[in-house]
């Protein structure tokens, strides 16, 4: 089932007004469960690697800044989650239609935060690569409860916005404006994280 324009207008209004939007149950439960199963297969197979910071020649792994593990997603390889890429195609089209952003591509990775992992305060832009426009996070933590940690903190002009990483929650925010962090998690934290791009990626996967 495709997303409709009407169901996204209010979310994009919030994105325009406050630089972020939270969309619960963006995917049907069965879809989120399928994505979680996909993630667990790769985590158990030890397919992820330590995430880096920076881009191109500046790329480095610094576990004092971030300690998550990632696996970049590829549409041709990851055909069992083709529906996810279809939905991201729709999201890109809707952002262009309703927000006039001129987006032309995206990149996504699976992000696993083992217990004790975190990502210190940062912004989703690079010094020499500024094509990330909208950050997109889909949480796949089925049994998350307060106290489990791993919350997303958005640093707004008026203060901090704490976003709980509950199952099936989709978060959109401006990549070039909002500093944010991931608090230390006390349980395994799983998400699909990515960026809507102003230019075609064409530079390879980063981090």
> Looking at residue 67, what is its pLDDT?
83
For residues 31 and 39, what is the distance between their CA atoms, to the nearest angstrom? 12
Provide CB contacts within 8 A for 63, sequence distance 6+.
50
Domain segments of the chain as ranges: 6-52+64-188
Task: Please tell me the pTM assigned to this model.
Answer: 0.89
* More confident position, 59 or 93: 93
Residue 29 exposed, middle or buried by CB count within 10 Å (0-12, 13-18, 19+): exposed
pLDDT of residue 129: 64
Q: How far apart (Å, rounded) are the C-alpha atoms in residues 86 and 136? A: 15
User: In percent, how much of the chain has pLDDT > 90?
Assistant: 76
pLDDT digits (tens, 9 = 90+) for 147-166: 999 999 999 999 999 999 99
The Cα-based distances of 141 to 87, 89, 144 in angstroms read 20, 24, 6
Task: Return the CATH number of the domain spanning residue range 6-52+64-188.
Answer: 2.60.120.620
pLDDT at 206: 39
Q: What is the pLDDT of residue 39?
A: 98
Instruction: Map tokens 């002009």 to a residue.
Output: 157
């Amino acid at each position: 089932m495709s997303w409709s324009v009407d169901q996204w207008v209010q979310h994009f209004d919030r994105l325009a007004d406050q630089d972020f939007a939270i969309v619960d149950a963006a995917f049907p439960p069965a879809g989120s469960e399928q994505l979680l199963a996909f993630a667990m297969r790769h985590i158990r197979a030890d397919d992820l690697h330590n995430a880096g910071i920076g881009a191109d020649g500046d790329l480095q792994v610094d576990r004092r800044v971030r300690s998550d593990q990632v696996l970049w997603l590829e549409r041709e390889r990851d055909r069992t989650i083709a529906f996810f890429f279809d939905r991201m195609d729709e999201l890109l089209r809707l952002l262009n239609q309703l927000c006039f952003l001129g987006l032309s591509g995206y990149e996504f990775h699976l992000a696993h935060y083992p217990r004790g992992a975190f990502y210190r305060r940062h912004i989703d832009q690079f010094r020499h690569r500024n094509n990330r426009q909208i950050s997109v996070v889909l949480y796949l933590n089925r049994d998350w409860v307060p106290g489990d940690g791993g919350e997303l903190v958005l640093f707004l002009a008026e203060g901090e916005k704490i976003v709980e990483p509950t199952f099936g929650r989709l978060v959109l925010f401006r990549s070039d404006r909002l500093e944010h962090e991931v608090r230390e998690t006390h349980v395994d934290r799983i998400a699909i994280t990515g960026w809507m791009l102003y230019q075609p990626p064409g530079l390879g996967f980063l981090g």
